[in-house]
Structures are given as structure tokens and as C-alpha cells.
Amino acid sequence: MDILQIVGLGLVVCVLAIILRQQKPPMATLLTMTAGVIIFFIMMPQITGVFNILRDLAGQANISMVYMGTILKIAGIAYIADFGSQICRDAGENALASKIEFAAKIIVLVMAVPIIVAVLQSLIKLVP
């Protein structure tokens, strides 16, 4: 499924959503949500392929899986938070969208703290 089909699908859904938004605005939001999910499902094989390659490289370069796992988790959180907040913004709920992004930033920060601590500790060891 290459980019042409995805763009075609996106344009068709865009037109349908415009029609629906005049008649029934909530239905248009549900339609765009479905389209977002379907496009993610289409891209799933490529994403898993890239992540497997990343894991193998990390394994060979004996980077500990903790850091790589955290990076993948942060990527996942960022994707889902962006998915939700963009849909809320499309529906006109800007306040809700910024609340979702605020929560996502806090979660990412909480996940990044162990890595920051590890870096600082290694730095402190370097300083004589």
C-alpha cells in the first residue's frame, strides 16, 4: 500500500467529512477518526519492520534495552497523544487538545527522568 493509495484515501475521506460536517458534525469527527486509525493500520508493517531493525542494531551495538525501550515508548506516547489532540482540534475542541498534549508531555518527562539521571551520574564520574 504505497503513498498514492493513502493520499487517495485521505482525499476521499476529506470530501466525505466536509459533506457530513454540514449535516451532522459529530459524524464527521467519527469519520476522520476512523480514517486516521485505518491509515495507521496500513502503515503498521513498515513501522514494525523499522523497529525490529532498530532493536537488532541496538543489540549488536550492545546498547542496553532499557534506553531503546524507553525511546520506543516515548515515540508511541507521542504518536497517540498527537493522534488524539489533532482529532480534538479538528472537532473544534482546542482546550481539550492542549490538555491531552500537556498530559503527554508530563508522561514523556516522567519516562525520560531515569535516562537523565544516568547521564548526570556518568558525567559526575568524569569530573575529577
Partner 1 sequence: MGNIDLIFKIAGVGLLTAVLSTLLKEYKKDDYAVLATLGGLTVVLFWVVQLLGNLFDQVKSVFKLF
Contact set with partner 1 (CB under 8 A): 1, 9, 12-13, 16, 19-20, 23-24, 26-28, 30-31, 33-35, 37-38, 40-42, 44, 47-48, 51, 69, 72-73, 75-77, 79-80
- Tell the smallest beta-carbon distance from residue 15 to partner 1 (Å): 10
Reported as type and span, the H/E element at residue 90 is helix 65-90
Cα–Cα dist 50/41, whole Å: 15
- Tell the smallest beta-carbon distance from residue 95 to partner 1 (Å): 21
In the complex with partner 1, which residue's Cβ is closer, 73 or 99?
A: 73
Cα–Cα dist 114/109, whole Å: 10
- Tell the smallest beta-carbon distance from residue 5 to partner 1 (Å): 9
